[in-house]
């Protein structure tokens, strides 16, 4: 069984925050920013899919939403890799390094 290529991009963590947490609970970006202890601009950038979730933010989100930090980092990683693979060709020019057999 081969791996299927994903046609649609993975969801950005901001889309998950907006769709699963903010909208259903009527929580504002301002309220979430206060809970997380970061600026409204920082939360707004993530929720509007303009910013990335880094390790510190993943820890904050995991505490706020009772998840693991890995959930948020994995969402971001999958999103970033999918887009990098499709929007950049430079990485395809990299050649494998031949390693000595003793390694």
Q: What is the pLDDT of residues 59-92, one digit of tens each?
A: 999 999 999 999 999 999 999 999 999 998 888 8
Q: What is the pLDDT of residues 25-67, one digit of tens each?
A: 999 999 999 999 999 999 999 999 999 999 999 999 999 999 9
For 13-85, CATH gives 1.10.260.40
Cβ–Cβ under 8 Å, residues 31 and 22? no
Residue-wise DSSP of 9-41: PPPPHHHHIIIIIIHHHT--HHHHHHHHTS-HH
Give buried/exposed letters for 49-88 (b at 16+ CB in 10 A, else e): eebebeeebbebbbeebeeebebbbebbebbeeeeeeeee
Give pTM, 2 decimals: 0.85
Domain boundaries, the chain: 13-85
């Amino acid at each position: 069984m081969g791996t299927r290529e994903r046609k649609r991009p993975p969801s950005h963590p901001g889309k998950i925050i907006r769709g699963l947490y903010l909208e259903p609970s009527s929580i504002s970006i301002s309220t979430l920013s206060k809970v997380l202890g970061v600026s409204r601009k920082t939360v707004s950038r993530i929720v509007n899919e303009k910013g990335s979730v880094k390790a510190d933010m993943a820890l904050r989100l995991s505490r706020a939403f009772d998840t693991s930090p890995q959930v948020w980092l994995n969402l971001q990683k999958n999103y970033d890799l999918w887009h990098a693979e499709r929007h950049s060709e430079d990485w395809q020019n990299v050649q494998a390094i031949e390693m000595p057999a003793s390694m």
